[in-house]
A and B are shown apart, each in its own frame.
Chain A
């Protein structure tokens, strides 16, 4: 094919083209800056457009994330295979320990049932679960959130607790028609009322984008040790009480705050259960916008 060579006319028109280009760029920069400023004033404003884009991308991400997850798991499996011998020994030990714990749990469960019967205790309403698959692990450098392939049409509601096999993972922050965004407990904006240890001290689990969220607002005199269990307290009505979250870990030397190692493993997030307890809590007013459609 013939290649057009820049002629005299074209060369002469270059400065004009450049200045037109410059103003296009400047225009788009201004537009983006405007969008950011409006978003800063009202963070909920773009929620619908945001989730519309996510809904559009869901089928694609859903399809492509299967092989990616499989590939990732394959490599993890290879690593595990390498460490299988040591792992087996550790697992056998853990299994023995857990069997003892099971016996304890069973006896406690029956004792609990007997005591509840004596007290006419009214149990919590059973939770409704919706299971979804993680299709997007976004957030990257600034946020800790994941996208799942279930949304409004599947009955997902904003504020629902997201749990993985082992414990609380986060909460539903945005709901689209067929996708939702889950804010992980480690995210900067995550604040969860929790109870710590056997003394059931109240605290707030505050994410700071690190893998181990902080325990904030602990009472001055505390009797908390590394290894203590952290569960949701149910205060504020955003979460059901008693969901396991993680364990307290020893703080780094230069830190005053205690940190929590969550139970969920961010490395192997694949399926997520969203619990709907019929609690609306702090997210009620925002929820209406989407649920009322």
Chain B
């Protein structure tokens, strides 16, 4: 099959999609939503992206991209440098190794899986930030953030799946739920 340069470029652009989606998610977490009330708590958007792409297309998302996106989140969020990089890589590792358990299962199972992963992620984040700042932080805000994150996952999944459908198919592990 002969492929033109345009086709090649098109494929390359689509291949970059998961990484770009993560960057967009980092920005989404930073925007000043006047709605969120006095606590300025936003869902952990970038975690949703890492979970989705780790589950569906880890072949298009190199670990180094996840790592760099984590550092970017740290810088913008003002959290100690390295915390989000650590948490996101840990979740990415976990999810991409459990991929086969989720393939072909109903969305509810995937959602529960996400709830478990997010619990681990937020717990880890709370521990790490507390460790670096040298004080046990009040857990209420992170608990609220956890609930928001789990609640918003199905909404974001729809958007991810739309982006996912435009991508060139991957191997046997590729699936859209």
Residues of A within 8 A of B90 (CB): 29
Q: Determine if A35 and B31 form an interchain contact, defined as CB atoms under 8 angstroms apart.
A: no
Q: Determine if B70 and A32 form an interchain contact, defined as CB atoms under 8 angstroms apart.
A: yes
* A6–B172 alpha-carbon span in the complex (Å): 7
* A192–B76 alpha-carbon span in the complex (Å): 25
User: Which of A66-74, A84-92, A110-118, A236-244 forms part of the interface with chain B?
Assistant: A66-74
Residues of A within 8 A of B154 (CB): none
Q: Determine if B27 and A57 form an interchain contact, defined as CB atoms under 8 angstroms apart.
A: yes
CB of A119 closer than 8 Å to a CB of B: no
Which residues of chain A (252-275) have a CB below 8 Å from chain B?
266-270
CB of B132 closer than 8 Å to a CB of A: yes
Q: Determine if A142 and B32 form an interchain contact, defined as CB atoms under 8 angstroms apart.
A: no
User: Which of B14-22, B110-118, B136-144, B156-164 forms part of the interface with chain A?
Assistant: B136-144
Give chain B nearest CB distance to A80 CB in angstroms.
12
Q: Determine if A141 and B78 form an interchain contact, defined as CB atoms under 8 angstroms apart.
A: no
Residues of A within 8 A of B41 (CB): 140-141
Q: Determine if B145 and A141 form an interchain contact, defined as CB atoms under 8 angstroms apart.
A: yes
Q: Determine if A68 and B63 form an interchain contact, defined as CB atoms under 8 angstroms apart.
A: no
* A61–B31 alpha-carbon span in the complex (Å): 7
A142 in complex: contacting residue of B67, B142, B169, CB < 8 Å: B142
Q: Given the interface contacts A40-B132, A136-B76, does A32 sit within 8 Å of B67 by beta carbon? A: yes
Interface 1/0 per residue, B120-144 and A, CB below 8 Å: 0010011011011111011001101
Interface 1/0 per residue, A6-39 and B, CB below 8 Å: 1000000000000001101100110111111001
Which residues of chain A (121-178) have a CB below 8 Å from chain B?
134-147, 174
Q: Determine if A68 and B79 form an interchain contact, defined as CB atoms under 8 angstroms apart.
A: no
Q: Determine if A29 and B86 form an interchain contact, defined as CB atoms under 8 angstroms apart.
A: yes
Give chain A nearest CB distance to B141 CB in angstroms.
4
Q: A25-B93, A28-B89, A142-B126 are in contact. List 16 more A-B contacts (CB 8 A).
A: A3-B169, A25-B92, A28-B63, A29-B86, A32-B85, A32-B86, A36-B132, A53-B75, A69-B32, A72-B35, A137-B33, A138-B78, A140-B145, A141-B41, A141-B145, A209-B137
